[in-house]
Amino acid sequence: MQLYSLTLQKSTGIQKAIYGNFSGPKAQEIVVSKVKHIELLKINESNGKLETIVSQEVFGIIRSIHSFRFPGNNRDNLVIGSDSGRVVVLGFDGLKNMFVKVHQETYGKTGCRRIVPGQYLACDPKGRAFMISAVEKHKFVYILTRENEKITISSPLEAPKSHTIVFDIVGLDAGYDNAQFAAIESDYGDWQDKDSAVCTGIQTKFLTIYEMDFGLNTVRRQRSDPIHISSHSLLMVPNAPDGPGGVIVLCEDFLHYRGPKNQEMKVPYPKNQGMPTDRGAMISSYGFYKQKSSFLYLLQSEYGDLFELSLQFTKDEVHSIRMIYFDTIPVANSLCLMRSKHLFAACEKGNHCFYKYQREEANTNNIICTDSSMALEEQIFFKPQKLKHLSLLQELNNFSCISDLKVADLAKEGNPQIYICCAAGNRSTLRVLRHGLEITQLANTNLQAKPLGIWTLKERYDDPVHKYIVISYINKTLVLKIGEKVEQVHDTGLEGTKQTIHVGTLIDDSQIQILTNGYRHIRKNKPPTDYIVEGKVIKGVSNEKQVAFALAGGDVYYFELDTTSFSGNLIEITKDQMDNEIKALELGPIEEGRQRCKFLCVALSDQTIRLLSLEPESCFERGAMQALPSEAESLCMMEMASEQEGQQSFTKQLFLFIGLNNGLLMRTSVDQLSGGLSDTRTRYLGTKAVKCLRITANQQQGMLALSSRSWLCYNNSGRIFMQPLSYDYLDYASAFLAKEFQGIVGTNQSTLRIIMPERFGEIFNQQSLALTYSPRKMIFHEASKAIFIIESDNRSYNNIQQKVEEVYQSQDLPEQWNQVQAEQYKWASLIRIVDATKLETINVHQFFENQHACSICYIQFAGYPEQYICVGTVKDLVNEPSRKFSQGFIHTFIYDNKSLKLKHSTPIDEIPYALAAWRGRLLVGAGCNLRVYEMGNQRILKKAEIKNLNSFITSIMVKEDRIYVAEVADSIHLLRYNIRDQTFMELADDILPRYVTASTVLDYHTVIAGDKFENIFVSRVPLDIDEEQEEHPYEYKMKMDQGCMNGAPFKMDQICNFYVGEVITSLQKIALVSTSSEVVVYGTSMGSIAALYPFDNKEDIDFFLHLEMYLRVEHQPLSGRDHMQFRSAFGPCKSIIDGDLCEQFGNMLYNKQRAVAEEFDRTPADIIKKLEDIRNKIL
Amino acid sequence: MQDRFNFQTQTEHLHARYVGTGNPDTPKYVWNNHIHRDTLASHIGHHSRMVYFCTAENEPMCRLRYKFLTKMIQPCGPPPPDIEKAEF
Give residue-wise pLDDT tens across range A230-285: 999 999 999 888 889 999 999 999 999 999 888 999 999 999 888 888 889 999 99
> Do B20 and A114 count as a contact with CB atoms less than 8 A apart?
yes
Separation between Cα atoms, residue A55 and residue A36, nearest integer Å: 10
CA distance A506 to chain B (A): 58
User: Which of A119, A794, A796 lies at the smallest CB-CB distance from B44?
Assistant: A119
Contact A325, A309 (CB under 8 A): no
Smallest CA–CA distance, residue A765 to chain B, in Å, is 24
Domain with A615 in it: 513-723+739-758
Say yes or no to pLDDT of A1169 above 50: yes
Q: Residue A208 pLDDT > 80, yes or no? A: yes
CA–CA separation, A417 and A836 (whole Å): 10
Domain-embedded: residue B10: no
- Rg of chain A over Cα atoms, rounded to whole angstroms, equals 34
Establish if B34 belongs to a structural domain: yes
- Confirm whether A109 is domain-assigned: no
- H helical segments located in A636-738: none
pLDDT in tens, A478-522: 999 988 888 888 888 888 888 999 999 988 888 999 999 889 999
Q: Is residue A420 part of a domain?
A: no
In a domain, B62, yes or no: yes
- Confirm whether A527 is domain-assigned: yes
User: Tell me, what's the pLDDT at A906?
Assistant: 96
Please report residues of B whose CB lies closer than 8 A to that of A188.
72-74
For residue B36, the chain A residue with the least C-alpha distance is: A114
- Asked if the model's pLDDT at residue A563 lies above 80, the reply is no
- List residues of chain B with CB under 8 Å from any CB of chain A: 18-20, 29-30, 33, 37-38, 41-42, 44-49, 51-52, 54-63, 66, 69-70, 72-74, 77-79, 83
Residues with Cβ < 8 Å from A351, sequence gap 6 or more?
A: A395, A396, A397, A398, A427
Interface size between A and B, measured as CB pairs under 8 A: 146
Does residue A853 carry a pLDDT above 90? yes
Strand partners, A389: none
Is residue A466 pLDDT above 70, yes or no? Answer: yes
Mean pLDDT (whole number) for A448-462: 90
- Say if A795 is an interface residue toward chain B (CB within 8 Å): yes
Residue A540: the pLDDT is: 92
Task: Give the three-class secondary structure for B12.
Answer: helix
Q: Which of A15-24, A207-216, A258-267, A485-494 has the lowest mean pLDDT?
A: A485-494
Domain contains B14 = no
Q: Assess if residue B57 is contained within a domain.
A: yes
Residue A216 has pLDDT above 50, yes or no: yes
Confidence at residue B86, expressed as pLDDT on a 0 to 100 scale:
52
- Residue A13 Cα, gap to closest chain B Cα (Å): 9
Peptide bond into A1044 cis (omega under 30): no
A1012 touches chain B (CB under 8 A): yes
A167 touches chain B (CB under 8 A): yes
Q: How confident is the model at residue A628 (pLDDT cuts 50, 70, 90)?
A: very high
Contact B60 A879 (CB under 8 A): no
Give the pTM.
Answer: 0.92
| Segment A1029-1064, tens digit of pLDDT | 888 887 777 777 776 666 788 899 999 999 999 999
The CATH number that applies at residue A1168 is: 1.10.150.910
- How many angstroms away from the CA of A991 is the closest CA of chain B? 21
CA distance A987 to A1002: 18
Examine residue B9 and state whether it is found in any structural domain, yes or no.
no
Which of A158, A191, A422 should be substituted to probe chain B, the one whose Cβ sees the most B Cβ atoms within 10 Å?
A191
Q: How far is CA A639 from CA A325, A657, A669, A927, in A?
A: 56, 11, 10, 63
One-letter identity of residue A787: I
Give the start-end residues of each E strand in A254-294.
254-258, 264-268, 271-272, 283-290
User: What residue in B sits closest to A1088 (Cα-Cα)?
Assistant: B48
Query: Per the domain annotation, does A176 fall within a domain?
Result: no
Q: Which of residues 970-1009 of A touch B (CB under 8 A)?
A: 997
The predicted structure's pLDDT at residue A620? 85
Q: How far apart are CA A253 and CA A65, in angstroms?
A: 27
Please tell me if residue A969 touches chain B, with a CB cutoff of 8 Å.
no
**B83 within a domain of the structure (yes/no):** no
Total domain count for chain A?
2
Residue A644 belongs to a domain with what CATH number? 2.130.10.10
Cα–Cα distance, A443 to A751 (Å, whole number): 10
**Residue pair A60/A86 in contact by the 8 Å Cβ criterion:** no
Option in B33, B55, B66 nearest A774 (CB): B55
Query: pLDDT at residue A1066 above 60?
Result: yes
pLDDT digits (tens, 9 = 90+) for B17-65: 888 888 888 888 999 999 999 999 999 999 999 999 999 999 999 999 9
B86 within some domain: no
Is A567 inside a domain boundary? yes
Cβ-based contacts of B77 with chain A (< 8 Å): 201
Contact (CB, 8 A) for A986 and A971: no
Nearest CA in chain B to A822: B58
Range of the domain at B62: 28-76
Mean confidence (pLDDT) of chain A: 90
For chain B, the domain total comes to: 1
Q: What's the mean pLDDT in A382-401?
A: 90
Q: Note whether residue A1129 is domain-resident.
A: yes
Nearest CB partner across the interface for B41, out of A13, A114, A794: A114
Closest Cβ–Cβ partner in A188, A795, A1061 for B48: A1061
Would residue A243 count as lying in a domain?
A: no
- A472: region left, alpha or beta (phi > 0 left; psi from -120 to 50 alpha): beta
Q: Is the pLDDT of residue A644 over 80?
A: no
Phi, psi of A988 (to 5 degrees): -145, 155
CA distances from A1154 to A258, A856, A1069, A1109, A1149 (A): 59, 54, 37, 16, 9
Contact flag A198-B38 (C-beta cutoff 8 Å): no
Instruction: Please report the ipTM that was assigned to this predicted complex.
Output: 0.93
Interchain contact, A136 vs B37, CB within 8 Å:
yes
Give the best residue of A279, A1085, A1088 to mutate against chain B (max B CB count within 10 A). A1085
Helices and strands in chain B, H and E counts: 4, 0
Kindly list the residues from chain B whose CB atom is less than 8 angstroms away from the CB atom of residue A167. 66, 69
Quick check: A200 contacting B, CB < 8 Å?
Answer: yes
A645 pLDDT higher than 50: no
Q: What is the pLDDT of residues A33-84, one digit of tens each?
A: 999 999 999 998 888 889 888 899 999 999 999 999 998 889 999 999 999 9
pLDDT for the residue numbered A813 = 64
Residue A755 has pLDDT above 60, yes or no: yes
The reply to whether A1059 falls in a domain is: no
Instruction: Flag if A35 and B47 touch (Cβ within 8 Å).
Output: yes
Closest partner residue to B52 (CB to CB) among A333, A795, A1085 is: A1085
pLDDT of A646 > 60? The answer is: no
Query: Taking 70 as the threshold, does the pLDDT of residue A551 lie above it?
Result: yes
Contact status of A1084 with chain B (Cβ, < 8 Å) = yes
Whether A204 has its CB under 8 Å from any CB of chain B: the answer is no
pLDDT in tens, A180-192: 999 999 999 988 8
Q: Which residue has the higher pLDDT, A885 or A881?
A: A885
